[in-house]
Copies of this chain bind each other. A is one copy, B any other.
């Protein structure tokens, strides 16, 4: 497999843009990623597109805004993990020499309110079980009992996320909140409160990758390399655990081990991390699953500020899903974008380790699989 670099990345601001179309959002993200990469659109050989709610053929309607050069435009869907899946397909197509240069795009326009995860007529819906934060809440309550954590420790994740979002001009929410704000916001699925839920969002993100051997013709300076990856769905564990879908954190450990093996690195090497905090407890479960802290110590680590930008294991420096926003098809590419900014020293006020960050870790969960990516500079 060839060495592959991320040459550029760009976003359309996340938020609510009722007057903009998907091509409006997507085009701006692509323009920003192409500008950042130095790659002209006509050099792009394939486009992989992460999108969930947009209709048939949405990728072509966005990508063809830039020209009709005859490239394949392939839509990938893995729910909230769609655009890291698109990234992985693009990465493999370049690493294996099928293409030299690829564009990855993620976009979404979402309705307001909680995401509807099951059909309105389904058993899960009629029975009131298809409540998105419920799986996180169920896991959180058990965690609190087993590890002596408090509800405030989960709330603190959201405080930290909003503080970071306030430093990110592309974030949906750019205002800090207090722990009281978080704990006093209305309860959705106890112990998860409203301010511990990621919002519904419109937005787009794009990434340009290319074979490292071709990078010099476009850009010089520090570049982010794709060092490791893993993807897999929830494997049934015969202990009787029946958790499914996004909160299946038992999966993370198995997958991150595969990613570390590919990268030749380990959790002790990580400088900056993006995790899937669709709901605040997610950050705690994820940093444990990823091996950044021992199991049972994640909540305390957040409480102690270790996941802050200036902490020893900075997590979701751009505000994460909670504050940057979570336009489901675009989230994965936004995660990649933030890690690239951190590894190239371009994260501005959000920069970790004084610009001396060289290993970035990404965990993006979906339905059909979770993606782990390791980027290095």
A-to-B contact residues, CB < 8 Å: 1, 49, 52-53, 55-57, 59-60, 64, 67-79, 85, 89, 92-93, 95-98, 117, 119, 231-236, 251, 254, 366-369
Q: Shortest Cβ distance from A125 into chain B, in angstroms?
A: 13
Is A60 touching B235 in the complex (CB atoms < 8 A)? no
Q: List, in ascending order, chain B residues with CB within 8 A of A60's CB.
A: 233, 367-369
Is B70 touching A254 in the complex (CB atoms < 8 A)? yes
Is B78 touching A75 in the complex (CB atoms < 8 A)? yes
Q: List, in ascending order, chain B residues with CB within 8 A of A77's CB.
A: 56-57, 75-77
Q: Shortest Cβ distance from A288 into chain B, in angstroms?
A: 19
Q: Shortest Cβ distance from A354 into chain B, in angstroms?
A: 37
Q: Give A119 to B21 CA distance when docked, in angstroms.
A: 13
10 further A-B pairs in the complex, CB-CB below 8 A; given A57-B79, A71-B232, A95-B96:
A49-B368, A52-B56, A56-B117, A56-B367, A72-B368, A75-B76, A92-B92, A92-B93, A96-B96, A96-B97
Q: Give A73 to B370 CA distance when docked, in angstroms.
A: 10
Q: List, in ascending order, chain B residues with CB within 8 A of A68's CB.
A: 233-236
Jot down 6 A-B pairs with beta carbons below 8 A, ordered by A.
Answer: A56-B367, A60-B368, A71-B232, A74-B369, A92-B98, A96-B96
Closest to A70 in B: B235
Q: List, in ascending order, chain B residues with CB within 8 A of A52's CB.
A: 56
Q: Give A367 to B119 CA distance when docked, in angstroms.
A: 27
Q: Give A76 to B51 CA distance when docked, in angstroms.
A: 10
Q: List, in ascending order, chain B residues with CB within 8 A of A64's CB.
A: 233
Q: Give A75 to B369 CA distance when docked, in angstroms.
A: 10
Q: Shortest Cβ distance from A140 into chain B, in angstroms?
A: 23
Q: List, in ascending order, chain B residues with CB within 8 A of A75's CB.
A: 76-78, 368
Q: Give A368 to B61 CA distance when docked, in angstroms.
A: 8
Q: Give A79 to B55 CA distance when docked, in angstroms.
A: 9
Closest to A47 in B: B368
Q: Shortest Cβ distance from A370 into chain B, in angstroms?
A: 9
Q: List, in ascending order, chain B residues with CB within 8 A of A96's CB.
A: 1, 92, 95-98
Is B367 touching A232 in the complex (CB atoms < 8 A)? no
Q: List, in ascending order, chain B residues with CB within 8 A of A92's CB.
A: 92-93, 96, 98
- Residue from B69, B78, B97 in contact with A74 in the complex, judged by beta carbons closer than 8 Å: B78
Interface centre among A73, A97, A235, A254, by most B CB within 10 Å?
Answer: A73
Task: Tell whether A73 pairs with B233 under 8 Å between CB atoms, given A60-B367, A92-B93.
Answer: yes
Is A76 touching B79 in the complex (CB atoms < 8 A)? no
Q: List, in ascending order, chain B residues with CB within 8 A of A67's CB.
A: 236
Q: Shortest Cβ distance from A259 into chain B, in angstroms?
A: 13
Q: Give A218 to B290 CA distance when docked, in angstroms.
A: 37
Q: Give A368 to B72 CA distance when docked, in angstroms.
A: 6
- Residue from B55, B79, B98 in contact with A56 in the complex, judged by beta carbons closer than 8 Å: B79
Q: Give A102 to B233 CA distance when docked, in angstroms.
A: 15
Is A76 touching B76 in the complex (CB atoms < 8 A)? yes
Interface centre among A1, A56, A64, A232, by most B CB within 10 Å?
Answer: A56
Closest to A245 in B: B57
Q: List, in ascending order, chain B residues with CB within 8 A of A89's CB.
A: 74, 89
Q: Give A334 to B232 CA distance when docked, in angstroms.
A: 27
Q: List, in ascending order, chain B residues with CB within 8 A of A59's CB.
A: 368
Is A235 touching B69 in the complex (CB atoms < 8 A)? yes
The 7 closest A-B pairs by CB, nearest first: A70-B235, A57-B367, A96-B96, A68-B236, A73-B368, A75-B77, A60-B368
